[in-house]
Amino acid sequence: MVSYGEFREVTEEAPDARPQPPRTPRRSGCPFCLIVCGRAPATVLREWPDALAIRPRHGGVTAGHVLVIPRVHVADVAEDPVVSAATMLRAAELAAEAGDCNVITSRGPAATQTVRHLHLHVVPRAEGDGLLLPWTAARPAET
């Protein structure tokens, strides 16, 4: 039997009221941290004080595919809600320019996260582009 995570009702104080652990600005060996500090190549498409928008290394899955990464090391969307929200703000700015698009992030290997540094994909879409989300069943071929 497969067990899926459950959402639990939170009855304690708000997350921002709890003390936060000190943020590690960079993590040794993290490919996105290396890009942020200028020690690895990347095509930077936009910069903000808190984030970068870069082109995926292999060009992306559609024209205009962009990754938005925070400048501080956060492993995934759940590690630091404030950094995650700020990074989503930047992705939303790009999505507003992109038109129809998916804005996607993953948390953990089972959810297809391959780099353990928060990143949001902004993937422009077009009707009939054939790109399926991981949970979308393939459409039967038309005859």
In a domain, 134, yes or no: no
In a domain, 62, yes or no: yes
Q: Which residue has the tokens 């501080």?
A: 72
Considering the entire predicted model, what is its pTM?
A: 0.78
The verdict on whether 119 is a catalytic residue reads yes
In a domain, 14, yes or no: no
In a domain, 4, yes or no: no
Q: Please tell me the total count of domains within the chain.
A: 1
Q: Using the predicted structure, report yes or no on whether residue 2 has a pLDDT greater than 50.
A: no
In a domain, 56, yes or no: yes
**Domain that includes residue 119, residue range:** 22-124
Spell out where 33-137 has E strands. Answer: 44-47, 51-54, 66-70, 101-104, 120-124
Q: Kindly indicate the confidence band of residue 133, based on its pLDDT and cuts at 50, 70 and 90.
A: confident
Name the active-site residue from 65, 73, 117, 119.
Answer: 119
CA distance 122 to 139: 23
In a domain, 69, yes or no: yes
CATH classification at residue 114: 3.30.428.10
Q: What's the pLDDT tens digit per position in 51-97? A: 999 999 888 889 999 999 999 999 999 999 999 999 999 999 999 99
Q: What's the pLDDT tens digit per position in 3-48? A: 455 555 555 555 555 555 555 577 788 999 999 999 999 999 999 9
In a domain, 137, yes or no: no
**What is the per-residue burial (b if ≥16 Cβ within 10 Å, else e) of 61-71?**
ebebbbbbbbb
